[in-house]
Structure 1
């Protein structure tokens, strides 16, 4: 990419472009596990969501990142996912090796981009969860609409993200971080379903 092209494309746009393939791969993996067919299968999906959000809690509570995104701490969904697991009578999973450790600021921006962007897709997922008699107050809290609305929350986040002055190296770190985030969720998703008991998967 030439310097001219780099300057003409917003960071959020570049992150969208570089994560197209891993995003598509994750979507296929989610569909393959059919998380909304039974409560048991959905519970495993929430296990993956909790593991991912719990791993990112350190980013959402990082003082340097909060200085960039003032409402960052309130955006984390680890607590909601934990409550969902309790609603579903599912034990909290043990941490999975390979979690993100001490990323650079730019790398962290890429991870947060993926986590925050997933809230847009959650608008469709919570409708599927409703068929299992779940809602943003029981079992599907982590899929609920954020305070102020999904669209407005995303616009606020990307507006701040795109205002960051990053070097070419930092931009590359952010892009790598976003790709890693999709790949990590895929790992956690496969882990969650691989550890499910057959009887649990059949629960309806």
Structure 2
């Protein structure tokens, strides 16, 4: 689901890598554990499971919605605000006659360059959502116009859109401290997602 955004804390000297490659290199096992956890709850096996998945997605995208609409970032990454998917998740929930779910876990308060790590994970998840979108279509009869809007590909195609996004992300001028903070944000995003998967699906 998160596909290429693999994150695991390492201390290698990767100063010569672009931001995207730096995050990718440092994000291996955590990404895999998130994907494995999500698929273990079989989100597309029943309508009830899919509703829980949507409620999970709503929480995550509510957190990153402000990042997509950040005025400063929108000056540096063209069309960023248009990529936000929180509203689409809410529409998907409404299609299925349900709504967001309150959780006990407090939402994280993001600051500084940490938001770049969260943004990287959020956009990367759209690339990895290709097979999720197919499952929503094939198993549940949902699609880009009903019930699975937020999983639909970008108009330019997932691959081209991701390359264009990464190219803009890599133009951001960051200090070493900010790159480290961005990595922390990515790691935190994965960790939080795992927490809310367990809460929404009532896993022990």
Note whether the superposition's TM-score is higher than 0.5.
Answer: yes
Identify which of structures 1 and 2 has the higher relative contact order when contacts are C-alpha pairs closer than 8 Å and 6+ apart.
1
CA separation in 1, counterparts of 2:63 and 2:110? 11
Higher helix share: 1
CA offset at residue 85 of structure 1? 0.6
Match of 1:170 in 2: 178
CA offset at residue 132 of structure 1? 0.9
Partner deviation per Cα, 1:77-123 (whole Å, 9 max, x = no partner):
0011001111122222236543232410x211111000000011111
CA separation in 2, counterparts of 1:54 and 1:25? 22
Q: TM-score, normalised by structure 1?
A: 0.88
Match of 2:111 among 100, 103, 106: 103
Match of 1:12 in 2: 20
CA separation in 2, counterparts of 1:61 and 1:107? 15
Distance 1:80 1:62, change over 3 A: same
CA separation in 2, counterparts of 1:148 and 1:190? 34
Comparing 48-57 with 10-19, which one deviates more in the overlay?
10-19
Partner deviation per Cα, 1:35-65 (whole Å, 9 max, x = no partner):
1111110110111011100111111111111
Q: Which runs of 5+ in 2 are unaligned?
A: 1-11
Match of 1:126 in 2: 133
- The alignment's C-alpha RMSD in Å is 1.5
Contact 1:35 1:44 in 2 (8 A): yes
Counterpart check, 1:186 vs 2:194: yes
**Higher radius of gyration, 1 or 2:** 1
Number of corresponding residues: 191
